[in-house]
Structure 1
Amino acid sequence: MRNFDLKELFEFKPEQGIVFLKDKQMILFHDIAIDFLKDELIRTLGKDLARGVLTRFGYRCGYHDAKIITKTYGKEIRLLNLGPILHRWRGIGNVLIDKKLEFCKETEHYLVKGRWEKSVEAEHHVDKYGKGKQPVCWISAGYASGFASGFTDLNVICDELTCVGKGDDYCSWELRSVKSWGNLANEKIQYYKVNYNFKDLQTMLAEDRSIDIHRRLTQLVLAGHGVDVIAGTLSEIIKCPVIILNKNLDVIAACNSENIDPDQLISLKNFLSEILQKTGFLQTDVILQYPFFISPIVGGAKFWGYIAVHETVNLSELEMVAIEHACTVCAMDNLKRDATIETELRIKGDLLDYILSLDKGTDPELIDKALRLGYNLSKPHRVMVIDLVGENEKNSSQLSSGFVVEIVKSGVGTLIETMISDSLVAVRKNRIVIILCTDGTGVHSDIAKKIQEWVVSNTPECSVNVTWGRECLEFADYRPSFEDAWQAADIIKNLGQSNKCSGYDELGIYALLWESNNKEKIRGFALSKLGCLLEYDDKNNSSLLKTLEVYLKKNCNLRETAAALYIHVNSLKYRLKRVKQLTGFDFSNEEDRFQSQLSLRLLKTLTGNRKDN
């Protein structure tokens, strides 16, 4: 084989920009290019993965060279010696054989030993990295394995025993078939197997970036920053304007939103309003409603609002993940805030109980405890009660203490404390109780109206009555003021009124009736006049009592009463005839009208709405 000339297999056509080895096109590289590729792979993937890639690269080169030889010259065993010659021709280094080839096709035995001289791989590795602990002629080992495997149709593995790259005098190797390696085969073959169980580099970089974004956003919550900073950070990450809306679709934070068209924002709110009416909130992580990407802020079963991103640049998949992370962080911020509010409400509830338990004098311990919580009880205060009332029977059951706590969390507590910082907000049963610092002013009535407006606009399923008691100038005044406010809420609710603001002293005769020691006697008087209508309505599932109430409220105007009751005037006349037959009232008589109206007011004040009792 010494005189064998491979030049006949090579064909150079530089004018066409091609080089052939037989009928396979080849590419010529500088050795420094392979060195640079190896360095890139090591720095990008690490040594183990880089070794596997380059070993398999060398294997494919050797395998295809073997197939060219067998196709051109046949499979005579002596032609195996063309492998080292091709190795030299490729410029990888010189090959010397130390142990003559042993090969048996039938027993699948293959063994040959040798050395590489002037190994380009080893020399470059020492220059760049210094001497290492492992052999570094990865492409050469792969080439030898590939050529032997392609020629013999066996799985032949090359193992580099010594290497200049690790400080040895020369690079020696041993080629064996898998069967000849025996129990060592699994160890030797590891770099020749393609392993796709690891993540690609782009995925790993994206995951690292995603983790970094999540860590950065999470630290904002841990540092106590609110949604304003979250919106600003997200906008900085994705280079787009960001808007955060609460569940009532109010904008609570925004960054770089100056250029958003107001009509686009209105359209966005209308779209989200339709979604809320149909499903409660978006059921997907991110949805496109051009030009906005929208993602819901959800934690567990709780929904707080949305993050809307105005897409001014094309968003990558990673940036979409950043939006989802921001929603998660906003949910964390809301959960943290809710937990804080719940803890504060418990503490304030205990303080409220303590305050209301005092009936005389001062208590230094209470004063100190209140001051540590930020309340100066030495100033004038009033006790205010916020009574949330369901708009209909269906949602009245929602108004539990838990529902009321959610109302406090949603913003009414913050509203009160923003207006009057020294005010204590707590929940008692299913009502919100406020010890309002008035400092001797009449500010309580204005605050009551603002609270009412907030609840009506933010909680459409409820109406609200706000009541207050007498001014508290000393500790003994707090409990009577609380009782005044609580009783005023009871009276207004019994009268069937809603969205009313009133102090106890403004209820006039109703407050006097409530304080009466002869409540049963007064109730008996009212029932003596109207009890027959109650019994008739219960027995016949009718509404004569309601008809009488509306008729008197409309100043005995038949048409207006019929319209209010959604019935025909003739039907109304029939009902009023039955009322007259049962009660004996003559509504053309002023005294009878007064007696019937008084009885209605007394009955409602002392017993509440008929359906509630």
Structure 2
Amino acid sequence: MTSMGRMDTTKANELSLRHLLRFYPQQGEIFLKDRRMVISSADAWGVLRHDLIAALGTERAKRFLLRYGWHCGRNDARNLKEMFDWESDIEWLLAGPQMHTISGNVFSRATSVEVNREQGSFYLEGTWENSYEAEQHLLHFPKHHEPVCYMLAGYAGGYSTEYFGKKVVYKEVECVGKGDKVCRFIGKTVEEWGDEILEELADYEDENLADELDLAYQRIEKQQHIMSIGMSLSQKLTQVVLQGKGLSTIAQVLGESLSCSVVVESPEFETIAGYGRVPHGAVRALRCGEIGGARERAVIQRLFDEQQTIQVDMPACGGLYAHRRVIAPIMVKNQVRGFISLLKEEGSFGQIELMSLERAASVCALQKLNEQTVIETEQRIKGELLAELLNKDADMSVVMKRFQYLGYQVDTPHYVFVFQMDPCEREGTYEEIVYMERRTHLIDFLSSKLERAGYRALVSTQLNRVYGLIPAAYIEQQKLSVEAYGGYLITQLNELLDSRDVVLGISNVCQTLAMFARGYQEAIQAIEIARLKKQTCPVVRFAELGHLTLLLNARHPEELEAFAYGKLGMLHTYDEKNESELIKTLYYYIENECNLHKTARVMNVSISGMRYRLRRIQELTGTDLTISCNRFETQLALEILFVLGKISLSPTEPATTSDW
């Protein structure tokens, strides 16, 4: 390149001040091509901005700064086109954000550029970091309720308009000056913006004071109209909550008031309530990549990251129709409990619709909070009643009357299910929060299963356990044994909680609620065995334990296991190492009353083979089975290992003594 001549080809990211400016310090002059330039400080612009707002008001100062930025942008676009031979048309466009950056106004980054001159479509999205306008505004004023980078937006619009040949307007959709983390902008043609940009267009027109006063009067009238509709809608929505009509009525009232479709969805975007034409599962399909592109998915991701209202254009696909959607999160105690959306097939959303949606989201949050409070209160009452059932000194007749008052059938046969999770040992930590959330999910999961089947759920917690009364009739409806249904629940819970530490103990059938205390103790005993068998069988029913329940009342399962291995550990190790069947042989030998010939027939081995096995068993264990005390202890050890799942017999049931 010669002095301020034309380069062969130029890319936007190659621009620097040495390419653009000529300095003549002896004459006190700086030139951009043949245009004289001056350098001024950001603080000076900040003072000018402050004085303009103080003298003219925010709206008039905004229009002044927008128009100033617009003319600067158009002028720079013309000069840069003449000065450089751009490698491509897009490089000339991207030189605009680069000028912002190298001139110290802001670090400008274009994140999405989609321009088609033939089709007349223009879309440019990006971020402004370290905006001097936002920085200076916050030095002189508090955070504003809307974006404040007026000159930057005006410059971008003027530059893009000169480049594209059609009027392009930029909207700052996020701004540090109003409390956002970053300034983010979107530029589109006036036609592509549609009604959404009508109010802003007036800011770019040169007007006299009379016209501005007339415009201000029109805006005041419009604001009064918006406030009137907003107040009416707020009253209607408040009445819905007070009358306890629920989310479906909220969606209906909002949709009828705004003449558009409304949908209330869960945090996973499953439809809860709707009004009008609602494409079910559209946002979920977008998040999964089934429809739409990266730009739309990025917008939805911001909904989760920033938990603020967003607008997104939903594409058509399959049975889903194209529409524009504005989505507001429903926040309860700083947690997203769902989403409420307005949908339009044509047109854009105005201020009254956005304001009404925010109000509706707050009302939905209140409704959710009410529902949560009711559920928590009912759970607390049920927990207290169930705790009374465990109290030996409680008056059962009084407790039964309280259950009947709440609508529970006290004489309905049921099982007691006790679920146990590994407890969190460190209080006040993130692990404890996760543990509490998992326990809540388990309660909700079990309660919803019963309530969907038409049963009142009696579910509560005690330490790291969740226990519930499961009607025997409900188990029969599932067409599964109670053990099989318990296994089905554990499988689903493992997927829901993303864990493998949940075990389940099941009692025998309790004919009435008065038998709950006995059933609870049975389930606790079963769960102690389930905890030891977690890897092989996380579900144990009390009925499986047989006579071992007598020992469980006196000893811990760990001690029983240690006792069994103390007696038969050498045999167990020998069988695993040599793939032999000494423990199985010993089991059937004792089962057949130590009859050599009967056992040989059951095991299908020869008499000499049986003698060898029995001799090997005695050598390994040092136990003389002719002594009755030794036989009893050996049989007890075998039963313990069998119940704990440490040994297994062949799938085919052996013939019993009575069969011979």
**Range class of TM-score, shorter chain:** 0.3 to 0.5
Larger radius of gyration: 1
Provide the TM-score with structure 1 as the length reference: 0.48
Question: Which is bigger in relative contact order (C-alpha 8 A, separation at least 6)?
Answer: 1
TM-score where L is the length of structure 2: 0.45
